[in-house]
């Protein structure tokens, strides 16, 4: 199983460590005013998560031969959007969660108003990063990247997915409806991570396979999340387990049952691999990540 | 008094009408899914406000000879950031306000979670707009505009100002502390409006006077807001009057007293005019707006 391949593990650890350093650098220090806001922004972003989106960006960058100095910025921008969405998602008016990545959520550790501003400011910082650093071959591509990220984050992407999620609580969704929700809620930003990483390098005709790959992996990620949420314990997840089903939210497990949800994840993994086939060896890391995302246990 | 000049009034009415049309066009229709989110985004943004920031952007565009087709997009981006900040600012965990521009606030009309997402999605849309439309002479300038807007909105701009505001409630601030708060909270975005409008046109050496003008006008705007909040009634303001002082928030009136606050607004108006002097006739609209902002009664 590739997930245990020590060379892949070392690559992954390397990207994760690099991201920790980059995020630490691009986030204003807690000594910069307003200190409490900057401290809370760092709390929300650092030392947490598997950095799946940055890993995808770095892996997609291998397809276009992108320099790591560019990839780390594009990856940081995507991760900041992700981090902001978690902070807002955990707020009492949304999921009202108290635990995230094994730590109290931002509004619990600080307060609600600060958590609101943390999310707001993390979003601004993401766009600032892509605009101010030479992350692509030319400024035109960079503007495309800003647009891709904005669309992925906005009302027809992630924020829209959250809204569909809100409205679906307590309802029985069909599989296509559930899919539509997750294509927005998680899929859009995962797709952006892949496309932004790819855009850091030389232009080539790979958008179509990457797009198909990203769609499969985005859905697979959510299906596996639902399986783990159903199967796992709070301790291994680092967040409150079984929360979605308790809140009456439809999940792949509630719609398909556990066995069929696992089959679906497996099928999506296969489809992701198939999408990468035309890209050859350049897509090795993306291929490994498909395995990692579906076969992970926590 | 220039504020009553019918030619200026006609120009202002023209920009306001144009902005209503542009915002109506760039905001997704309520018929686009998720419909409730898009409807609420429109509710939060349309038919409201004096459009001071768009007016400043259009006026600054006259300094650099910018085309209205570009200005309307840059102005819309700034206005979307402003609209998002109002929605989040009105939330129960922040100012907990129920009335804005004479209508129930977004979380009252819809719900808190939707209001949170409305703000989030409006912010994304702002960056999307600047990235996807040809708003400047070249993509490099456009990237600079993304950066300027991101910095103005973020933790060292508007969101940072909100945090300072949160922390200052119930405290006695000195004049420099109050100024620091407002330079962030309102001043940063007003400055961005001026700079973005200017950036839509041909490059010229006018940043310095515009920057000084924007600083004066940003502060003057807040001083006048505090005076009106103290003096005015809820009916003429379209928002709850006297709220800041009731919440124990420091204002220019509470720090300086009414008479000295009015004097300060007048002094800032003079300084704004002085800053524009080197720009000559091209700065006429900016000059008129300085009068409008300080001499407005509602």
ipTM of this predicted complex? 0.94
* Within a domain: B1: no
**C-alpha–C-alpha distance, residues A297 and A293, integer Å:** 9
In the structure, what pLDDT confidence band is assigned to residue A172 with cuts at 50, 70 and 90?
confident
* Within a domain: A106: yes
Which residues lie across from A99 on neighbouring strands? A104
- Model confidence pLDDT, tens digit, residues A256-283: 999 999 999 999 999 999 999 999 999 9
* Within a domain: B123: yes
Beta pairing class for B99-100 and A103-104? unpaired
Is the pLDDT at A244 greater than 70? The verdict is no
Residue B211 burial by CB count (10 A; 0-12/13-18/19+): exposed, middle or buried?
middle
* Within a domain: A82: yes
The set of residues, in sequence order, having a beta carbon less than 8 Å from that of A264 and lying 6+ positions away, is A223, A252, A256
Residue A124 near chain B (CB below 8 Å): yes
Give A 167-206 residues with CB within 8 A of chain B: 167
Give A 49-88 residues with CB within 8 A of chain B: 84, 88
Full-prediction pTM beyond 0.90?
yes
| Residue listed under structure tokens 């959520």 | A105
Residue B119 near chain A (CB below 8 Å): yes
Cβ-based contacts of A28 with chain B (< 8 Å): 155-156
Residue B109 near chain A (CB below 8 Å): no
Residue A94 near chain B (CB below 8 Å): yes
Q: Do A154 and B125 touch (CB under 8 A)?
A: yes
* Within a domain: B152: yes
Residue A144 near chain B (CB below 8 Å): yes
Hey, CA dihedral for B154, B158, B162, B163, is it positive or negative?
Answer: positive
Distance from the Cα of B93 to chain A's closest Cα (Å) equals 5
Cβ-based contacts of B114 with chain A (< 8 Å): 163, 166
| Structure tokens given for B289 | 């707006």
Provide the domain count of chain B. Answer: 1
Looking at residue B279, the DSSP 8-state letter turns out to be: G
Cβ-based contacts of B146 with chain A (< 8 Å): 127-128, 130-131, 143, 146
| Structure tokens given for A192 | 């952006």
Nearest to A93 among B116, B140, B164 (CB): B116
Distance from the Cα of A110 to chain B's closest Cα (Å) equals 12
Measured distance between the N- and C-terminal CA atoms of chain A, rounded to whole angstroms = 16
In the structure, what pLDDT confidence band is assigned to residue A169 with cuts at 50, 70 and 90?
confident
Q: Do B131 and A120 touch (CB under 8 A)?
A: no
DSSP B53-67: HHHHHHHHHHHTT--
Q: Which ranges of A5-67 does DSSP label H, i.e. alpha helix?
A: 6-26, 35-45, 52-63
Q: Do A124 and B153 touch (CB under 8 A)?
A: yes
Cβ-based contacts of A36 with chain B (< 8 Å): 163, 167
| Residue listed under structure tokens 């202002």 | B12
Residue A156 near chain B (CB below 8 Å): yes
Residue A236 burial by CB count (10 A; 0-12/13-18/19+): exposed, middle or buried?
exposed
Residue A34 near chain B (CB below 8 Å): yes
| Structure tokens given for A294 | 């579906």
Distance from the Cα of B275 to chain A's closest Cα (Å) equals 28
Mean of pLDDT over chain A: 92
Distance from the Cα of B110 to chain A's closest Cα (Å) equals 12
Buried/exposed code over B170-193 (b: 16+ C-beta within 10 A; e: otherwise): eeebeeeebbbbbbbbbbbbbbbb
* Within a domain: A62: yes
> What pLDDT does A243 receive?
64
Is the pLDDT at A225 greater than 70? The verdict is yes
CA angle B5, B23, B125 (to 5 degrees): 135
Closest residue in chain A to residue B84, using alpha carbons only: A120
Three-state DSSP state, A141: helix
Residue B234 near chain A (CB below 8 Å): no
Residue B274 near chain A (CB below 8 Å): no
Cβ-based contacts of B153 with chain A (< 8 Å): 120-121, 124
Q: What are phi and psi of B179, to 5 degrees?
A: -65, -45
Q: Where are the beta strands (DSSP E) in chain B?
A: 99-100, 103-104
- Model confidence pLDDT, tens digit, residues A38-64: 999 999 999 888 999 999 999 999 999
* Within a domain: A1: no
> What pLDDT does A57 receive?
98
Q: Do B123 and A124 touch (CB under 8 A)?
A: yes
**C-alpha–C-alpha distance, residues B145 and B133, integer Å:** 12
| Residue listed under structure tokens 């986030």 | A27
Which residues lie across from B182 on neighbouring strands? none
Mean pLDDT of A112-132: 98
Hey, CA dihedral for B28, B33, B39, B44, is it positive or negative?
Answer: negative
Cβ-based contacts of A147 with chain B (< 8 Å): 128, 131-132
Range in A69-83, A240-254, B228-242 the model is least confident about: B228-242
**C-alpha–C-alpha distance, residues A250 and A229, integer Å:** 12
Question: Which has more confidence, B296 or A153?
Answer: A153
Residue B106: give the domain boundaries.
6-295
Report how far Cα B77 is from the mean position of its chain's Cα atoms: 11
Which residues lie across from B104 on neighbouring strands? B99
Nearest to B139 among A139, A151, A154 (CB): A139
Q: Could you list the pLDDT tens digit for every one of the 298 residues in chain B?
A: 445 589 999 999 999 999 999 999 999 999 999 999 999 999 999 988 899 999 999 999 999 999 999 999 999 999 999 999 999 999 999 999 999 988 999 999 999 999 999 999 999 999 999 999 999 999 999 999 999 999 999 999 999 999 999 999 888 889 999 999 999 999 999 999 999 999 999 977 778 999 999 999 999 999 999 999 888 755 555 556 556 666 678 899 999 999 999 999 999 999 999 999 999 999 999 999 999 999 987 4
Residue A281 near chain B (CB below 8 Å): no
Determine contact, residues B30/B46, Cβ cutoff 8 Å.
Answer: no
Three-state DSSP state, B142: helix
Closest residue in chain B to residue A88, using alpha carbons only: B116
Distance from the Cα of A77 to chain B's closest Cα (Å) equals 12
Neighbours of A284 (CB within 10 A): 17
**C-alpha–C-alpha distance, residues B82 and B126, integer Å:** 10
CA atoms within 13 A on the CB side of A64: 27
| Structure tokens given for B253 | 């009136």
Residue B108 near chain A (CB below 8 Å): no
Residue A271's H or E segment, with its range, is: helix A258-276
Three-class SS string for A167-210? HHCCCCCCHHHHHHHHHHHHHHHHHHHHHHHHHCCCCCCCHHHH
Selected residue of A155, A176, A185 to mutate for chain B interface (largest B Cβ count, 10 A): A155
Q: Do B124 and A93 touch (CB under 8 A)?
A: no
Q: What is the CA radius of gyration of chain A?
A: 18
Determine contact, residues B56/A75, Cβ cutoff 8 Å.
Answer: no
Q: Residue A128 maps to which CATH number? A: 1.10.600.10
What dihedral do alpha carbons A178, A184, A189, A194 form, nearest 10°?
80
């Amino acid at each position: 199983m590739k997930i245990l391949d020590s060379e892949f593990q070392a690559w992954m650890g390397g990207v994760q460590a690099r991201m920790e350093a980059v995020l630490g650098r691009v986030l204003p220090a807690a000594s910069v005013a307003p200190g409490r806001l900057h401290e809370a922004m760092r709390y929300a972003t650092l030392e947490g998560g598997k950095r799946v989106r940055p890993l995808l960006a770095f892996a997609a960058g291998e397809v276009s031969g992108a320099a790591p100095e560019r990839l780390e910025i594009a990856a940081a921008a995507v991760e900041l959007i992700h981090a902001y969405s978690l902070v807002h998602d955990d707020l009492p008016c949304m999921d009202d969660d108290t635990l995230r990545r094994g730590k109290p959520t931002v509004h619990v550790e600080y307060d609600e108003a600060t958590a609101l501003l943390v999310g707001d400011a993390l979003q601004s910082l993401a766009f600032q990063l892509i605009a101010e650093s030479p992350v692509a071959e030319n400024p035109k591509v960079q503007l495309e990247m800003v647009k891709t990220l904005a669309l992925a984050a906005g009302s027809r992407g992630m924020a829209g997915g959250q809204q569909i999620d809100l409205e679906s609580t307590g309802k029985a969704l069909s599989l296509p409806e559930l899919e539509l929700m997750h294509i927005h809620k998680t899929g859009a930003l995962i797709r952006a991570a892949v496309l932004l990483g790819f855009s850091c390098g030389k232009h080539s005709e790979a958008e179509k396979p990457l797009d198909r790959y990203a769609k499969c992996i985005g859905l697979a990620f959510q299906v596996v999340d639902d399986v783990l949420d159903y199967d796992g314990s709070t301790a291994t997840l680092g967040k409150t387990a079984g929360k979605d089903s308790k809140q009456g939210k439809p999940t792949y497990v509630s719609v398909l049952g556990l066995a069929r949800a696992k089959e679906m994840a497996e099928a999506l993994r296969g489809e992701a691999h198939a999408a990468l086939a035309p890209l050859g060896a350049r897509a090795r890391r993306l291929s490994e990540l498909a395995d990692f995302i579906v076969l992970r246990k926590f």
